[in-house]
Structure 1
Amino acid sequence: MTDRRSTAALLIAFTALNFVAVMVLGAAFGWPAVLDEPAAVVLPAFAAAKGPVVAGFLLQTILSVALVPIAIGLHQHFVSRASGEGPRLWPLTVAVFGILAGLTQTLGWIRWPLTVPGLAATWLDPATSPEVRTATEVSYDLLNSYAGGALGEYLGWSFQALWAVGIAVLLVRARVVSAVTAVAGLVLTAAWVLSFLVGPFYPALADGVAGTVGFTAYAAWFCWLGVVGVALLRQAPALVDAR
């Protein structure tokens, strides 16, 4: 019961604090739209609001790390709710996707509090030569493309999507939520997957109304995780533990 309640509390906190981080970064840094701006725009903006921006990204980093115990805790709960029948590989696979999502997203977020401050300081330093300033901009662009775009976002969202689909299925099997609630999670996941993961190859799915729908679905999906946390908190403990 302690593990179940701890996992539920983590899910609820994960949902609430994600919204806090997004509001802080949006207000202080214009995130996520600022990610599309060149280094000459981003680095001064980062330096101008360094305190809240670093705090917001540190919070995002911590929350991504928290996905690891959440994925493990849900796995333990799903297995403990089993009656000893059915495959055990599927819950383990889903847990691995959740862990990988947390790790890859952590590696993406951590660039902001650890690496970007140095780049911003170099770019803004009056003693910096034009050549070094240009090299700093290139370094930021490369870091943003690899750590942010490829690793933290694309891989992170891919693993998160697989985890989201997996836990929606497992939630029904473990009788944690209703089938309607689980399907809602699947629909929301599909909506933000189309925008975030398919969008780069088909811009029409990432721009305009489609992009807005994707981000709205992503925000709603976090709310869905909070609902799962509440349902898990209210659920009766398993009567039969797994072998």
Structure 2
Amino acid sequence: MNRKLTAALLVSAAVLTNVAFTVLGSVFDYPDILKEPTDVILASFTAHQTAVVSWFTVLALSAALFAPIAFGVGRLARVRWMRISVPVGVAAAVVQVIGLSRWPLLVPGYASSGDRASFETAHHVLGTLIGETLGYALTAAWTLLVLAALGRAFAGWWFVALGGVSAVLIATGVVSPLGVPGVDFANFLGYVLWSVWLLAFAAVLLFRRDRSSAPAQSRSSVAA
């Protein structure tokens, strides 16, 4: 894992997530459809099954990319916060893949058999509790740990502020099941800002020289 590969993964994750989310919103009214009764959700799923399954697979793939991203970003600093961030980032990827994978793996069977009870159980446990609640918490935690490890010196205060605000807004999604007003919008805005932060992160990795190598290069130049 080098800086260029890590940057490519960051861009891929941000782009795939937003494209898949946008298409699912268009063909499946996602995520608003999740607030509808089970019969409505399953009927809409059946009507657009091929597209829904395909794009949820893409969304799960984009979530899975955060496992290698966690390792790549983990190489940027040798401090305690960064060491902690790696397993947290991997865990964030795992729980989101588990939650999203129910759509291509389980829901087609529930829809064809009309098994409402199993769908509701999977929707609550795999979706709400694991994929969403744990996913929000771990994603926000990973972002804050990375910011704590890299600090302002990596790219400036704007980088810390953008990442920090997006992480806090994403974390509000943890209380979404309680029906707190404004939380869903705050969570959505958090992910929009986080996508911008990911792209900015990639740009910094690609276009800014690795400062950790600067002292060694300077010493080589003096010696020469």
Q: Same fold (TM over 0.5)?
A: yes
Q: 1:16 matched to which residue of 2?
A: 15
Overall identity of the aligned pairs, in %: 29
Q: Amino acid of the residue matched to residue 30 of structure 2?
A: W
Q: Please say if residues 28 and 53 of structure 1, whose CA atoms lie closer than 8 Å, have aligned partners that are also in contact.
A: yes
5+ residue gaps, structure 1, are: 80-87, 124-135
Q: Amino acid of the residue matched to residue 15 of structure 2?
A: A
Misfit runs of 4+, over 4 Å? none
Q: TM-score, normalised by structure 1?
A: 0.83
Q: 1:163 matched to which residue of 2?
A: 142
Q: Secondary structure of the residue that 1:203 maps to in structure 2? A: coil
Render the CA deviation track for 1:132-179: whole Å, top value 9, x for unaligned.
xxxx11111110000000011111111111001111222326x33112
Higher-helix-fraction structure: 2
Alignment match of 1:200 (pick from 169, 177, 194): 177
Q: Please say if residues 176 and 235 of structure 1, whose CA atoms lie closer than 8 Å, have aligned partners that are also in contact.
A: no
State how 1:122-133 maps to structure 2 within 5 Å.
Answer: 122-123=113-114
Q: Please say if residues 28 and 52 of structure 2, whose CA atoms lie closer than 8 Å, have aligned partners that are also in contact.
A: yes
Number of residues of Structure 1 aligned to a counterpart in Structure 2? 214
Alignment match of 1:188 (pick from 166, 173, 195): 166
CA–CA separation in structure 2 for the residues paired with 1:204 and 1:22: 22
By relative contact order (CA 8 Å, sep 6+), the higher-ranking structure is: 1
CA–CA separation in structure 1 for the residues paired with 2:177 and 2:165: 20
Q: Secondary structure of the residue that 2:2 maps to in structure 1? A: helix
CA–CA separation in structure 2 for the residues paired with 1:186 and 1:42: 34
State how 1:8-157 maps to structure 2 within 5 Å.
Answer: 8-79=7-78, 88-123=79-114, 136-157=115-136
Q: TM-score, normalised by structure 2?
A: 0.89
CA–CA separation in structure 2 for the residues paired with 1:107 and 1:200: 19
Q: Amino acid of the residue matched to residue 226 of structure 1?
A: L
5+ residue gaps, structure 2, are: 217-224
CA shift, 1:202, in A, is: 5.9
Render the CA deviation track for 1:15-44: whole Å, top value 9, x for unaligned.
111110001110110000111112211111
